[in-house]
Structure 1
Amino acid sequence: MRNKNYTSFEEIELDLKLLSLERKIAIEELKGLKLKVQEDLSPLNWLQTGIKMAKKFGTLLLVKKLLK
């Protein structure tokens, strides 16, 4: 933590307002990260990823079979 010498109550109030805004911004960023994690871990997202991987694997098998 920083040590700061204040010369007036206005400086203290300004710093308190600034810290309050920084805290609110950090809370909103955490909320956004929480939603992102929830989306990433949702079953639908896992299913879509599985389908994409299955398509790629199937395509590779098909190409391999055609080239033999």
Structure 2
Amino acid sequence: MKIYKNMKDVERDLKIFNLERQIAWEEIKGLKEEYMEDLKPAHWIQTGLNFAGKYGVLMLLKKIIK
């Protein structure tokens, strides 16, 4: 526990805590936007196509090697 000697120190720490809270809030909002983007069907389709492309290349290589 921190012991304060004057109001200036208290006000300084309160200002720091407020800025840290604001930064954390902005980070949360950014994460929300990111998750909302990830949940869009277009993103799912793109992910599926990327997976299918990688799987297709692996299958092609497997057939070439045999």
Shorter-chain TM band: 0.7 to 0.9
Taking structure 1 as the reference length, what is the TM-score of the superposition?
Answer: 0.76
Alignment coverage as a number of residue pairs: 65
**2:29 pairs with one of 19, 23, 31:** 31
Consecutive unaligned residues in structure 1, runs of 5 or more: none
One-letter code aligned to 2:5: T
Residues 8-44 of structure 1 deviation map (CA, whole Å, 9 limit, x = unaligned): 0000000000000000000001111111111112110
**Residue number among 35, 42, 58 corresponding to 1:44 in the alignment:** 42
Distance 2:56 2:3 in 1: 68
Rounded Cα–Cα distance in structure 2 between residues aligned with 1:61 and 1:6: 68
1:5-20 to 2 correspondences below 5 Å = 5-20=3-18
CA distance in 2, matches of 1:5, 1:62: 69
What is the identity, as a one-letter code, of the residue corresponding to 1:26? A
TM-score (norm 2): 0.78
Q: How well do the aligned residues superpose, as a CA RMSD in angstroms?
A: 1.8
The runs of at least 4 consecutive aligned structure 1 residues that moved more than 2 Å come to: 52-64
- The percent of aligned pairs where both chains have the same amino acid is 49
> Which blocks of at least 5 consecutive residues in structure 2 are unaligned?
none
